[in-house]
Amino acid sequence: MIMTMEYDYRSITVQTTIGAGDFKAKCLKLLDDVAGSRESLIITKHGKAVAKLVPMPPETTLFGAMANSVKLERDIVSPLDNDWEACR
């Protein structure tokens, strides 16, 4: 496995790469490592990147996701107090 660092004027990016042959031999362990560290892994073939192994995003439940997102200000069913121009 090779770790390369890319420098930007704002940040440092560390990318881990592994050859396809090594990946094939250590696949299950690398899957666990990526899931645990939450960092991606680039798989290379003859020094050229061919695939990227990325962790799955954390699971979120949809139940309650919109809680407290709507605010009821007043009665929306009763007629309005003002007359509309179209009604005249």
Give per-residue pLDDT as tens, 75-86: 777 777 777 777
CA distances from 37 to 16, 41, 44, 55, 75 (A): 12, 10, 20, 9, 51
Q: Per the confidence metrics, is the pTM higher than 0.75?
A: no
Architecture of 1-55 per CATH? 3-Layer(aba) Sandwich (3.40)
Is it the case that residue 88 has pLDDT exceeding 80? Answer: no
Render pLDDT for 14-45 as a digit per residue (tens, 0 to 9). Answer: 788 999 999 999 999 999 999 999 989 999 99
Query: Which band of pLDDT confidence, cut at 50, 70 and 90, is reported for residue 68?
Result: confident
Interstrand relation of 41-45 and 12-19 (parallel, antiparallel or unpaired): parallel
